């Protein structure tokens, strides 16, 4: 099954989210709602199956495709987006790693296999460098992976991957100068912020962006071993290559023969005993300095190269290929596990699926006994007065507005009695796309107690709520106790659960729900930014 989302898609999505956030601060939310709803009705809705509920991932992906098409049209070609640059950079490193690994493996093997005819190639040293060292690296990788799994860590805890990731990001910022110099300063900052957003929102993306680096390392190992094997086979085919073994440690030929037999177990069942030297060939290829090398038999000296080739394939190349397959599966699994329940996703779905309230003009109904002369006279009077039709509100369709599910509402004690729950429900639907499944009265003492967290857990579990709402008056700046409560609220809930701080202005006698000033909204967002919670949403409840 073809995967709908790719890694470059998430980079572009973050980039467009940042663009929309800047547009919202400048023009307001109404413009975004009108734009996205129009795109949905004209570009997305015609491709939907009316009998099934629209899939969240598919809708966001279609919106992303439409944004890309608009960017490409505005740029007169293929727009320079973060996803495209990441894809090109990753392809560049894919080719570079392959070339460097194959060149280094082939070059190192060539130096070891340089045979002048006076002294055979030392099998012990060749096996130690090209097989044992790689086995040690693979064993260390396996032990570290097991340790991280037992401790509950993922690939993001790897120091090596983190260092390489920083290096690749540094190169990306240097390479992007050729295209970003032509961009406006605001777009350059959004471009850089999109890359930073992906790195900081680890809870939403998990180890998704670590798997490509893991695959690059395995690609390096595969290409390195192909380089070694290629040079070994070329040297064997093009020259009279001789192999022998020697050791300062007094090892008997029978011990070495038994060791070779055990090493050859992974392939001897398939290729037979001819794939490794027998005891007689091992004894005949032993090099002793005082005896010289001219008495050694050629058939014994050439019996080692199949063993070396198959050892590299079995202990070095094949494990790398297996790890590469595991990495590809892990990357695919991480793509399928990416959360699309963050506030940015929820706001986008709400804008796409919430119906618009339009004003249309409808002709006034005329009495049934009106004749042609009467109708003409009435129409002339209406035109003279400037009112030919009457305006009525109309919704563009009958779609539900609670597209994001249910939430639990936490209402402070001083606001609870004056809060009209029906109006709060309607405003939550209009502003956030949620229904209120339960409202909880919260006083200052109750806010930090275990009883509140118990009731929250019960409400979330029993009523399948996907978000929490905390009603606050924006004209009162957030204090440290409130920030601590939000931090505790995050620790006591799912890391992916959306927490909405719904802000209202100063209450008036007629209603509790008044607009929030821009200054108060800015103060609240700046104060809560220290929490560094990507699933915390600080937004006005009353839309202006």
The Cα–Cα gap between 3 and 208 comes to 14
pTM of the model: 0.77
Under 8 Å between Cβ of 124 and 245: yes
Q: In the chain, which residues fall in CATH 3.40.50?
A: 406-540
The Cα–Cα gap between 473 and 507 comes to 9
The Cα–Cα gap between 90 and 86 comes to 6
Q: Which of 120, 116, 134 is nearest to 303 (CA)?
A: 120
The set of residues, in sequence order, having a beta carbon less than 8 Å from that of 361 and lying 6+ positions away, is 389, 390, 391
The CATH architecture annotation of domain 406-540 reads 3-Layer(aba) Sandwich (3.40)
Q: Note down pLDDT in tens along the chain; length 544 residues.
A: 467 899 889 888 988 988 888 888 888 888 888 999 999 999 888 888 766 777 889 999 999 999 999 988 887 777 778 888 888 888 888 999 899 999 999 999 998 887 666 678 888 889 999 999 999 999 988 888 887 777 766 655 555 555 555 555 555 555 555 555 555 555 556 566 666 656 555 556 767 878 888 899 899 999 999 999 999 999 888 887 888 887 767 778 888 889 999 999 999 888 888 888 988 888 887 877 655 555 666 677 778 889 999 999 999 999 999 999 999 999 998 888 888 888 889 899 999 988 765 544 445 444 444 454 544 455 454 444 444 444 434 444 434 467 888 888 999 888 888 888 889 998 898 888 898 888 888 865 555 556 667 777 776 666 677 888 999 999 988 888 888 888 888 887 777 788 999 999 988 888 889 999 989 998 998 899 888 888 889 999 987 6
Q: Which is it for strands 406-412 and 389-395: parallel, antiparallel or unpaired? A: unpaired
Under 8 Å between Cβ of 401 and 357: no
Q: What local confidence, expressed as pLDDT, does residue 393 receive? A: 41
Under 8 Å between Cβ of 409 and 380: no
């Amino acid at each position: 099954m073809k995967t709908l989302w790719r890694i470059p898609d998430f980079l572009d999505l973050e980039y467009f989210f940042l663009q929309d956030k800047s547009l919202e601060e400048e023009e307001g939310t109404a413009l975004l709602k009108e734009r996205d709803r129009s795109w949905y009705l004209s570009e997305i809705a015609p491709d939907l199956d009316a009998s099934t509920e629209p899939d969240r991932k598919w809708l966001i992906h279609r919106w992303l495709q439409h944004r890309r098409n608009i960017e490409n049209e505005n740029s007169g070609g293929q727009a320079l987006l973060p996803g495209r640059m990441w894809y090109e950079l990753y392809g560049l490193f894919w080719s570079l790693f392959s070339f460097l690994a194959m060149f280094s493996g082939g070059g190192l093997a060539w130096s070891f296999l340089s045979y002048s005819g006076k002294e055979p190639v030392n099998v012990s040293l060749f096996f130690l460098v090209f097989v044992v060292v790689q086995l040690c690296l693979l064993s260390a990788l396996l032990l570290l992976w097991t340790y991280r799994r037992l401790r509950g860590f993922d690939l993001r805890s790897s120091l090596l991957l983190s260092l390489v990731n920083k290096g690749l990001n540094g190169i990306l910022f240097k390479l992007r100068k050729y295209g970003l110099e032509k961009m406006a300063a605001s777009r350059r900052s959004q471009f850089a912020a999109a890359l930073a957003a992906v790195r900081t929102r680890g809870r939403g993306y998990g180890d998704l962006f670590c798997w490509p680096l893991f695959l690059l390392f395995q690609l390096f190992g595969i290409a390195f071993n192909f380089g070694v094997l290629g040079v070994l086979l070329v040297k064997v085919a093009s020259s009279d290559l001789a192999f022998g073994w020697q050791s300062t440690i007094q090892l008997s030929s029978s011990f070495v023969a038994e060791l070779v037999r055990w090493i050859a177990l992974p392939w001897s069942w398939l290729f037979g005993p001819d794939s490794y030297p027998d005891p007689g060939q091992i004894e005949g290829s032993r090099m002793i300095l005082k005896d010289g090398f001219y008495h050694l038999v050629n058939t014994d000296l050439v019996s080692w190269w199949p063993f070396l080739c198959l050892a590299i394939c079995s202990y070095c190349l094949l494990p790398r290929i297996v790890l590469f397959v595991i990495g590809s599966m892990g990357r695919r699994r991480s793509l399928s596990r990416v959360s699309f329940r963050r506030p940015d996703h929820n706001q986008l779905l709400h804008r796409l699926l919430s119906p618009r309230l339009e004003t249309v003009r409808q002709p006034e109904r005329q009495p049934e006994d009106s004749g042609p002369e009467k109708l003409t006279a009435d129409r002339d009077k209406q035109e003279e007065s400037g009112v030919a039709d009457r305006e009525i509100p109309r919704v563009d369709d009958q779609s539900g507005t609670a597209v994001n599910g249910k939430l639990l509402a936490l209402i402070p004690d001083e606001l609870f009695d004056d809060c009209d729950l029906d109006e709060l429900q309607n405003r939550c639907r209009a502003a956030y796309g949620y229904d209120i499944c339960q409202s909880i009265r919260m006083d200052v003492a109750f806010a930090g107690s275990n009883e509140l967290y118990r009731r929250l857990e019960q409400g979330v579990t029993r009523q399948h709520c996907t978000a929490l709402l905390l009603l606050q008056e924006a004209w009162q700046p957030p204090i440290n106790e409130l920030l601590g409560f939000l931090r505790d609220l995050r620790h006591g809930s799912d890391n992916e659960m959306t927490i909405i701080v719904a802000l209202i202005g100063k209450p008036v006698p007629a209603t509790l729900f008044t607009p929030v000033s821009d200054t108060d909204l800015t103060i609240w967002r700046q104060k809560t930014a220290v929490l560094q919670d990507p699933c915390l949403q600080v937004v006005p409840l009353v839309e202006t």
